[in-house]
Structure 1
Amino acid sequence: MSRSGVKRVLVVVPHVQAGERLLDILPALESDMRIQVMISTPETGYRWSGIEEYVRRLDGLVIPWHQAVSTRFDVVLAACHWGLAELDGPVVLMPHGVGSLGSRIGYDGDADRHNLHRDHLMLGDDVIPTVLALATDEERAVLGEACAEALPGAVVAGDPSFDRMLAGLPYRDVYREALGAEPGQRIVLVSSTWSKHSLFGADPAIFARLAEELPRPEYLVVAVLHPFVWHAYSRRQVLAWLARAREAGLVVLPPEEGWRAALAAADVAVGDLGSVLQYAVGLGVPTVMSTCSLAGVRPGSPAEMVSRIAVPLRLDRPLAPQVSRAGPPADAERERVVRTITGRPGQALSLLRGTCYALLGLDQPSHGVPVSPASLPEPIR
């Protein structure tokens, strides 16, 4: 080794959405000469196709899981609980979507279950995360009821992804150009999460229908599919399924990045119970939500709140008139949704940076770390 005494930080990447969230945090740490960052993918039984290629493209030091579990780390960064109990080092756990509560009803059908239950956070009598980064003060209150043992390590840190979207709003025109939009053309961002209740799950032809029904001179339709869709079926298969839609002018974004910039550029967002539509309302974008997805929504969740704001999308009816009815949320509605996304707007990066440096036992560098705007979208060609 060329250097001694360097603090070791492990970034745990079980899937793309966790990796992308952690990439929002890394710039606050990795340039420090006292810190070395390593990356590993847990071997939990859930091994998504293509995850090895994804982590290799990050150009960091990727170590095998067996090495990760046998190494002492000064900080472990995670945005998913998979495999964390096997690691040696203080864990900073954050959500990889909107908040830690989530909106999806669990596999067991329990509508009251959310991601702050003790079965996510504890192993026996031990709390797994040393620090649990929460998005809002409401989540802290829920944690106190669901898993009081984790409260001492809870930090309300906001949402770094949403902060980057807000920082990207001044670059709306640049994002539109990158997506291929013509002047005056309305961008309709169409997103689908995974599961049978998702937009794509309920109607696999939804992207083609929208691209064909919305007149091309007036609209540009942009598709965002959850990374699990890409990894469950493969890039080749997904693009084959979307061939008809792409012939009709659909722009397809890759699973890794681009959707946040597309949201900043969008005139309308069409979606389901996933996080994208919740972020859309938070940005003030007019929204249309599939009524089919409500079957998978946990009562009282952020997605249910969005369903009361968005135009309901009926898949058995013509789509264009439903999209044209969408208007921006009222200020009070938008503010309510923002409060479910972040309790510390614009502060997530600095709060998480301070948290990590405290665990590392290092003084923070004197220079600040500005919030980077959402990255430029790069559509699949």
Structure 2
Amino acid sequence: MAAATRLFDVVPLLETDFRVQLTFTVPHTTDTWHGLDDYVHGQGGLFLPWAQAIHHQWDLILTASHRHITELHGPLLILSHGAGVLMSRRYSRKAGTADRPTTGLDRELLTYRGRVVPEVIALAHGDELRALEELCPEALPKALVAGDICLDRMLASLPYRRHYRNALGLADGQALVTLSSTWSPESLFGRMPGLARKVMDEFPGHKVAFVLHPQAWAVHGARQIKSWLSDCLRNGLLLIPPEEGWRATMIASDWVLGDHGSTTTYAAAVGCPVTMATCPGANIRPGSLADIVRRHAPRLRGDQPLGPQMHRARSQANLRHLVSPAVSSRPGRTATILRSAMYHLLNLPAPACGITATSVPLPRPCKDL
């Protein structure tokens, strides 16, 4: 789901062109990620079964996942589905007792039988070039430092903060506290499932929102997520659906309690006050985006009242200036860079008109339990 939502940041860069027809497909093994097919179908695009897609020669393939890329035929552009390509965890969730750290630029992800699979590897930051040179030097000619389109869209949305707050039902002067959790036993929700209740109890006059990683919804199912949070939902918790809304919610927030996931990093990058509620220190890659946030954002103290901790986070004015340049080295330019690369692969001249990142939609919290 995270990969799918990232692609829907990218496809508007070319889908208005009369020379271009977009088709969507989902790998057959992703039936374990509940709701993904429904989400892609719900976008209204032309959907092609995977078994048919792998037998077609495509003019351009866009993906934000390494899964099954060797099965498709045509020039492939791959980008990250989160903040940064290198990942913040030292070891993959699937690595078990791995002997060496893993990243999104490992040779086994980018090559097949000695061939570099992607035609273009979109990187968010120039520092990732050095990592690629070390991990898979044969892929270096395919690298393109494009920046981060998610960050660009969030930055373009900052002027609409009041609109996002209105959509979430916030009154003038009312604070919004948002919980941001990735998915894993080490996540905020995995380690502190009762935090939403604690925040609501200590801030009865505030609004509280919860942003969960799309994979948490896919693994557990919407019914289970809502059941676990049912008491909070009945008392006004704003549960943000996995498809869209988390970015607008972060922009609307007055304080974000997060973990090592990308949503917390993006919140810090656009200037949201952030406190790290939990972080798996031993499995965080030194120098990663999560490590930067962890080192400079205050830590949540469970034995202290939340009010002073919120004030402390809101006084950390330098966090954005540390995190945002680390997320993207091409701020505000990603749409232009990616569109140019896509049209080059299509062997078509790009439209003469310029293009910029668009603001994100209004948030629409889940309504039913």
Mapped pair 1:40 → 2:40: no
Amino acid at match of 1:313: L
Quote how far apart the aligned CAs of 1:57 are.
0.4
Mapped pair 1:173 → 2:158: no
| Cα distance in structure 2, aligned partners of 1:73 and 1:62 | 14
Amino acid at match of 2:72: L
Mapped pair 1:280 → 2:267: yes
| Cα distance in structure 2, aligned partners of 1:234 and 1:317 | 34
Alignment partner of 1:312: what SS? Answer: coil
Quote how far apart the aligned CAs of 1:284 are.
1.5
Quote how far apart the aligned CAs of 1:159 are.
0.4
Mapped pair 1:83 → 2:72: no
Quote how far apart the aligned CAs of 1:292 are.
4.3
What TM-score comes out, normalization by structure 2 length? 0.94
Q: Cα 1:312–1:348, aligned 2, differ >3 Å: closer, same or farther?
A: same
Mapped pair 1:307 → 2:294: yes
Mapped pair 1:188 → 2:188: no
The share of aligned pairs that are identical, in percent, is 43
| Cα distance in structure 2, aligned partners of 1:359 and 1:328 | 46
Is the 8 Å Cα contact of residues 136 and 157 (structure 1) preserved in structure 2? yes
Map of 2:322 onto structure 1: 336
Structure 2: tracts of 5 or more residues without a match:
none
Structure 1: tracts of 5 or more residues without a match:
1-15
Map of 1:144 onto structure 2: 133
Is the 8 Å Cα contact of residues 148 and 334 (structure 2) preserved in structure 1? yes
Alignment partner of 1:232: what SS? Answer: helix
Map of 1:210 onto structure 2: 199
Map of 1:74 onto structure 2: 59
| Cα distance in structure 1, aligned partners of 2:234 and 2:255 | 21
Quote how far apart the aligned CAs of 1:322 are.
2.9
Map of 1:357 onto structure 2: 343
5 Å-filtered alignment, 1:148-163, equals 148-163=137-152
What TM-score comes out, normalization by structure 1 length? 0.91
5 Å-filtered alignment, 1:288-327, equals 288-315=275-302, 318-327=305-314
| Cα distance in structure 1, aligned partners of 2:326 and 2:312 | 25
Quote how far apart the aligned CAs of 1:247 are.
2.5
User: Which is further off, 189-198 or 110-119?
Assistant: 110-119
Quote how far apart the aligned CAs of 1:309 are.
1.4
Is the 8 Å Cα contact of residues 40 and 68 (structure 1) preserved in structure 2? yes
Mapped pair 1:22 → 2:1: no
User: Which is further off, 239-248 or 134-143?
Assistant: 239-248
Q: Deviations over 1:229-260 (max 9, x none)?
A: 11111111111111111223211110011111
| Cα distance in structure 2, aligned partners of 1:247 and 1:213 | 17
Map of 2:245 onto structure 1: 258
Is the 8 Å Cα contact of residues 281 and 329 (structure 1) preserved in structure 2? no
| Cα distance in structure 2, aligned partners of 1:238 and 1:113 | 30
Q: Deviations over 1:60-93 (max 9, x none)?
A: 0111111110000000000010010100001100
Alignment partner of 1:346: what SS? Answer: coil
Alignment partner of 1:326: what SS? Answer: helix
Map of 1:3 onto structure 2: none
Quote how far apart the aligned CAs of 1:44 are.
3.7
User: Which is further off, 154-163 or 320-329?
Assistant: 320-329
Alignment partner of 1:162: what SS? Answer: helix
Q: Cα 1:81–1:46, aligned 2, differ >3 Å: closer, same or farther?
A: farther
The alignment covers a number of residue pairs equal to 363
Is the 8 Å Cα contact of residues 285 and 329 (structure 1) preserved in structure 2? no
Quote how far apart the aligned CAs of 1:314 are.
3.5
Amino acid at match of 2:173: G
Amino acid at match of 2:202: E
| Cα distance in structure 2, aligned partners of 1:121 and 1:315 | 42
Q: Deviations over 1:161-189 (max 9, x none)?
A: 10000010000000000011110011111
Map of 1:9 onto structure 2: none
User: Which is further off, 220-229 or 282-291?
Assistant: 282-291
Mapped pair 1:377 → 2:363: yes
Is the 8 Å Cα contact of residues 88 and 284 (structure 2) preserved in structure 1? yes
